[in-house]
Chains A and B, each alone.
Chain A
Amino acid sequence: MRRGIAAAVLATAIAVSASACGSSGSSASGSAASAGPVTITWWDTSDATNEAPTYKALVAQFERANPNIKVNYVSVPFADAQTKFTTAAAAGKGAPDVLRSDVGWVAGFAQQGYLVPLDGTPAAAEKASFEQQLITQATYQGKLYGIPEVTDTLALMYNKAIFAKAGITAAPTTWDQLKADAAQIKQKAGVDGFDFNPNSYYAMPFLYGEGTDMIDVANKKLEFNSAAAIKGINTLKDLISAPGVAKLDTTANGYANIMDAFESGKVASIIQGPWETTNVFKGSSFTDKSNLGIAAVPAGSAGKAGAPIGGHNLVAYAGSDAAHQAASEKLIAFLTSAASQTTIATKNATLPTRQDAYTSAVTANPGIAGFQAVLSAGMPRPANAQYSSLYGPFGTELTKILTGQESVQAGMSNVTVQSQKLLPDYAAQ
């Protein structure tokens, strides 16, 4: 009745196949002979076509500098990475030595014992150079489990040419204004003014805009069915059905469809993070990079704009042996060094996590400059290991609310009931 193997075989009982899910990579933790070359596996979750080449080039550079270490670079789609890593780690095999982990996953992984603390290792040698807030986010119960690699936040990305065509000169600063702008754009420019990705993470600005969050850690309360949260989701529901706002796309291809529409000028504005700027600049509407406007997300009725601070940390798997761990720490240190971060930022337009990497070459990139300006509206995650897991039930119910299958009130109550399973000691409103 114990161990990961039990969990794995249980899959058969519930008539689903586990075999498809957890078999990749080989960290070869058995070959403990510390002399000779060590091969470590790195799961990178960056965009495989636009961002990966930069990382592959860095890996090659690292291998040249460390002839005793070989890196098995594996590109894993971001959407699958959390499940894939959890499955592999729980089964005790197939997990990579190094993972590029979303900042929100780190606490959960650390709680489950999947990660090694990096305090005092070569990976954390330059800990003081990083943004202190990001180091705090990578810390769980006093130990540092990840080194920040890139950071990000959400912003309103807009097509300046379309806005100008509709006679609008400034980006909207409130949701009401965005609604009015969308109608005007539809009328004068003939394209949709705004498109929303129906995902809980992208709905966070609507909660922050009312001065609330998913949970209130200080008072141990779930905030989903608080008056403020209900108001925020009502604003969202109202917005997506307004004239000039694109029809909600909840299909499995939704994310890609929205990006295509924005890149080709069929939609004037979206809410998105810096990881998409490289893609956006490849779009037919943005051959002139200065056409991309980046503004803070609009504010809600509380008059405050807020967007989640995201990003990625590099973490090391606890199941690897000492030789692999030492090699992993070197790789992490290399990839998060000021020089590597500058390379990544200039090539991929993502935001570095340390001040000394914001060189003039980096800030010359319009994508980075734009996002650096809106970072101040970023809201850090509360210190709670289950926080990121709340996006799951919230997202499922959000889709039902936005497609009219449930009222806002009923949907948010359902999220509350499901969240109480994750946070039993938190009170509902």
Chain B
Amino acid sequence: MFEQLLMIWSDSAAISAAIWLVLLVTVLYLGRQQAHQLFATLGQAIFNAMRLAAFSVRGLEQRLVQRNRDVLIAQGRIQAEKTIEREFNRVSTLVERDLGAYPKLHRKIADAIEKIETDYQASTQNAPLPPAWSEVVETIAALPTNGDPAMNKILNNIKDAIEESHQQTLKAYQKTTLERHRHLSTMQPQWRTLQSSMDNVKKTLDGLEERTRTIDGQMQRYEAIRKGEDPAINALTSSSITQFLIAGLVLVIATLGGLINFQLIALPMSEMVGATSTIGAMRTSDIAALVIILVEIAMGLFLLESLRITHLFPVIHSMDDRLRRRMIIITLTILSVLATIEASLAYMRDLLALDRSALQQSLAGVAVVEAQFRWIPSIGQMVMGFILPFALAFVAIPLESFIHSLRTVLGLLMVGVLRTLRVTLRLVGSLSRYACQIVTHLYDLIVMVPLGVERLIKARRADHRPEDDWDDAPAMLESKRIRNQSTADV
């Protein structure tokens, strides 16, 4: 068909193609102005439409950014309030525990000081110092006796009396000194008591000071969040992403734990519900094992919710304490029962594995060997079967963090997607307009021969009739318009 159409003018393909080309160029030349208008309008229309779409996306993006900011502020404020409340509770506990006994401590310190003072007073009653007996004795001993026995006797008597008096005074002095030392030694425990009491007071005050500093810091953070300051928002965003990653990692670990748990109970479950029935593409026994694990996780969620560790279910959180305590007991009981069931299933799995191994040995013609210490893996599997449900119960904590941080992360992702979309729309708009301009120039390139002829004719006419220059005015105006448009786009 195409070939027939091509060869319509001549049997020679080249001649026919040339004729077609001339016709095409002629038609294009004749419709040049309309084509230019079409391309310009099309480019502008696409550009405007894309710009409008980008503007709408930008509005949505801004609303999303604001929403993310609000969510972050709300979460950060609640978190800061909880932290401050906890710090105040700690201060309250500190005050109640340590400073509550302060009157007693004060009385103890006062008693110690009073006792020390009494002892001090007692220790300050000095005994009279012994007179200078030695000089008197030496003076009397040095008196000349002149060989008179009566005088000698008198002097000796005086000397003896003085020495005896000296001894008595010395003894009294020594006794008094001993008494003072005794008073001073009784002061020592009082000093120690006083020192200890003062240390306790210091420790308490230091703790309070530290708490006060922490509260100050938290209050500043709270104030910054409340005002919506950018550094605080950035810190909250970073914290949220970190929480997301950590919680995600813990959830992956929990999932692996769940898989191990599943492997422990899937085989023995087939002993209970049969291994041949299926629901969809899965064995009923596998589904039953999966359901047990999921029920355990659900019980764990309810338990931690009832203990007010997590806050995923407002209904449970707002229950009155009596009902909540009942719920704790019920969920813990169910969890324990399920853990016991799992332990027994794990044991049954071990028995089945042992039976299967014995059968395979028998089929292979090998004598069945009783493995030593076979009880160790049996006990290990049972313990794992009992422990894993309780371990899985704690998945509620990272799950809560994950869900909370997911809001922020999803918001950030959405903002990223919208931003990319906006840039893409603008890019497509601009590219379309430039593409239309390029097509316009290509169009002119195709019809460049008649255009050149036209230009030559016009130039010749201009040489002959300079006054007719205004004939080119529309073309020049068009060219100027396109140039101006290009400059504006850039």
A, B assembled together: no
Q: Which B positions have Cβ atoms within 8 angstroms of A?
A: none
